Structure 1
Amino acid sequence: MNLKRIFGGLLTVLGIGSLIYAAVLFVNNMGGANSVKILLTWGGLGLLFFVSGISLVRTTKDES
């Protein structure tokens, strides 16, 4: 197995989890500047992890 593919899959799963958590925060948002900062932080990290994980999986070649 390729270590880059495993790391890419892990990043993708972490990104999906962070995006789901950001969605839950958005639904339960009570307003205020602090909750908006937290929502943007989790959403940004989730998007960053997801995109980098998918990119890493796609660009890594399967060699056996």
Structure 2
Amino acid sequence: MNIKRIFGTTLTVLGIIGLIYTAYVFSNTGGATRDIKSIVIFGVLGFTFFLSGINLVENTKDEA
């Protein structure tokens, strides 16, 4: 298996974890400024990791 594909899979999994954590924080928020900042930070990072991981897996060619 290619190292880029493994790294892409890792980024995708980290992105999914970040998005799930964002949903968890969003559902348990009290509306404080700190809660909103953490929702935005984890959401943006999770979305970025997820998209970059998917893109890396898709664009990596399988070479023997």
Superposition TM-score, scaled by structure 1 size: 0.97
Unaligned runs of 5+ in 1: none
Q: CA RMSD in A?
A: 0.5
C-alpha displacement at 1:34, in angstroms? Answer: 1.1
Moved runs in structure 1, 4+ residues, more than 3 A? none
Once residues 13 and 48 of structure 1 are traced to their aligned partners in structure 2, the CA distance between those partners, rounded to angstroms, is 12
- Counterpart AA for 1:32: A
Structure 2 residues not aligned, in runs of 5+ = none
Matches within 5 A, 1:21-60: 21-60=21-60
Give the percent of matched residue pairs that are identical in Structure 1 and Structure 2.
55
Residue aligned with 1:30, SS: coil
> Across the two proteins, how many residue pairs are aligned to each other?
64
| CA distances 1:18-45 after superposition (whole Å, capped 9, x unpaired) | 0000000000011111110011000000
